[in-house]
Amino acid sequence: MRKLTNSFLIVVAIALVSSCANRTVTRVSPDQQIDLSGRWNDTDSKLVAEEMINDVLSRPWREEFFQGTGKKPVVIVGMIQNKTTEHIEPETFIKDVEREFINSGMVRVVQNSVFREKLREERADQNEFASPETQSKWGRELGADFMMFGVITSVTDSYKNEKVVSYKVNLELANLETNEKVWIGDKEIKKYIKN
């Protein structure tokens, strides 16, 4: 019995080693669209962020704010929740949204509460350890005028070896002073997967 168990373990070990030997890795352009699993991926995140920010920036709220104040609106991207059944890192999507906002040049973007605390800690350290002429000053933070938040959801429909996954991203933009919703947008991505 012991000889049979040892033989089995040797066969399993050889199988594992040989399966690892067949693996190849190839570098590809980060812009190349590759969809191996059919799940939400970096391409989906970038495409949705680009399309939704183009939409939000083309709506009347931005021009109305500029006409009333003479300045670009300041936006903070708040919580975007993943309510799908799969693991989606919301922070990746949030960074894509922030990048599109900033690169548009039409709004200003401020840090969320977690990063603001880190910046304040650094400012406190500078207050204690940096020379007075190089210290960042207190009380000069830029307050946000609008906050974006939202949710990512999905619905899966499957039969035998076929599956359709529909992702929907709903985002809202609200005026922080008045709580008025000034924009609501959504974007859907549907993926057909056949095994």
Helices (H), the chain: 2-21, 42-57, 60-69, 90-104, 113-129
| Beta-strand relationship, 146-159 and 108-110 | unpaired
Collapse the DSSP code of 184 into the 3-class scheme (helix H, G, I; strand E, B; otherwise coil) and give the result.
strand
pTM of the entire predicted model: 0.79
Task: Select from 40, 52, 51, 45 the least CA-distant residue to 96.
Answer: 45
What crossing angle do the helices spanning 42-57 and 90-104 adopt, rounded to 10°?
Answer: 40
> pLDDT 10s digit of each residue in the chain, 195 long?
666 566 666 766 676 656 556 777 777 777 777 766 778 888 899 999 999 999 999 999 999 999 999 999 999 999 999 999 899 888 999 999 999 999 999 999 998 888 888 888 888 888 888 888 888 888 888 899 999 999 999 999 988 999 999 999 999 999 999 999 999 999 999 999 888
Domain at 37-112+142-194: CATH code: 3.40.50
CA distance 1 to 3: 5
